[in-house]
Amino acid sequence: MSGQPVVEFIKRRIVKLSRSRLGQLLIQSSLKWQRDNCTDMGAALAYYAIFSLPPTVLVILSIFGFVVGPNTAVYNQILVFTQQGLPPIASQTVETILVQLNQDRFGVGITGFVLLLIAASGFFSALDRAFDIIWKVHHPPGNQTIKHIAKNFIRRRIFSFALVFGAGLLLVITLLANIIIRIVLRLIQDFSGVVEFIQLDTIVTVSSLQLISSFIILTLVLMVLFKTLPTVRIAWTDVLLGAVITAVLLLVLQNLVSRSVITIGSQFQSYGVVGGVMVLMLWIYLTSQIFFWGGEFTCVYSQMIGSRRHKSNKNI
């Protein structure tokens, strides 16, 4: 009986939230995510991503390995990302791929470009189709001329290479951000040695600054993707809130897995290398569900509040 007021209070808060504008956005986005069968689209994306991963990493190592230098700082940064952001079994699989690719990255750069052109086409085609479904974009068969098909083919290939280049650039920016954080903390530590009342917990500060920088970079990347993937015109203000929420959800999932709060794919450990691939596909599938939900939220937001609110709400 003593807990009854607490339960009633929680119920009232939930009802109040569901009736608010934010609550309606969350509810409508989740319902639309279910109606659009994002679970099936995530499975297709995970399948294509497995085949696109090796050539994509190969091109990143080939291009940015020359820029950074012979110490392969990009390679080490990718290793850090895999260790921090993936389940242990999946990170071991990716590290094995990286070791093999890193040994021959200077000799097979052209091969990597060719493989990327072939393998990444399926991944980005699946991504394009997914956002066409989310935004209810239809391409009538009668309008598919040879010129139109060739234009779409070239556009998708350019977009594929742009994303690969952006991924490598993101690694370099993150690497530079970590270096700057270390330098600033070293200066603060030297200054705190002179001024006694300044105390600094280096480990906590580094972790906090790296988390903040990761959140900012991830939010910017998601904003660009949510803005460029749809074939309809939307404003930057339409994608801001969706990118922020999606970045928070992705970072929460990453931290829960890295801290072993939740385990992903522990039942696949007995499968060896195949188990690692299965866990990696499962991880891509889960992150794609969050990514697609963010796309749904962006679509609903633009229709209810954003730049497309005066148009037909057939996308909701």
pLDDT score, position 278 = 79
CA distance 51 to 44: 12
CA distance 29 to 306: 14
CA distance 230 to 221: 15
Pairwise pLDDT comparison (198 vs 118), residue with the higher score = 118
Tokens 């749809």, residue?
Answer: 230
DSSP 204-257: HHHHHHHHHHHHHHHHHHHHHHHHHSSSS---HHHHHHHHHHHHHHHHHHHHHH
What count of residues does the chain have?
Answer: 316
pLDDT score, position 72 = 57
CA distance 29 to 293: 7
Question: How confident is the model over 69-74, as a mean pLDDT?
Answer: 52
CB 99 within 8 A of CB 203: no
Tokens 């969350």, residue?
Answer: 26
Mean pLDDT over all residues of the chain?
74
* The model's pTM: 0.76
From first CA to last CA, the distance across the chain in angstroms is 42
10-54 residue pLDDT tens: 767 766 666 778 888 999 999 999 999 999 999 998 888 887 766
Cβ-count burial of 79 within 10 angstroms (0-12 exposed, 13-18 middle, 19+ buried)? middle
Pairwise pLDDT comparison (286 vs 109), residue with the higher score = 286
Residue 194 amino acid letter: V
CA distance 18 to 20: 6
CA distance 9 to 299: 32
Mean pLDDT lowest for which of 88-97, 216-225, 245-254?
A: 88-97
Residue 218 structure tokens: 């991830």
| Residues whose CB is less than 8 angstroms from the CB of residue 295 and which lie 6 or more positions away in sequence, other chains included | 130, 131, 134, 226, 229, 230, 242
Percentage with pLDDT > 90 across the chain:
19
pLDDT score, position 70 = 43
pLDDT score, position 1 = 45
138-170 residue pLDDT tens: 766 655 677 777 777 777 667 666 766 666 566
CA distance 72 to 69: 6
Confidence of residue 281 (pLDDT cuts 50, 70, 90): confident
Pairwise pLDDT comparison (261 vs 264), residue with the higher score = 264
- Residue 272, CA atoms < 13 Å, CB-side half-sphere: 1
Q: What are the strands, taking DSSP E only, across the chain?
A: none
Confidence of residue 211 (pLDDT cuts 50, 70, 90): confident
Pairwise pLDDT comparison (90 vs 216), residue with the higher score = 216
Residue 128 structure tokens: 């394009």
The C-alpha torsion from 278 through 253 and 212 to 292, rounded to 10°, is 80
pLDDT over 60 at 292, yes or no: yes
Question: How confident is the model over 192-216, as a mean pLDDT?
Answer: 65
Question: How confident is the model over 196-220, as a mean pLDDT?
Answer: 71
DSSP 108-139: SHHHHHHHHHHHHHHHHHHHHHHHHHHTT---
93-135 residue pLDDT tens: 767 766 666 665 555 555 656 666 666 667 777 888 899 899 9
CA distance 53 to 164: 10
238-258 residue pLDDT tens: 999 999 999 999 888 887 776
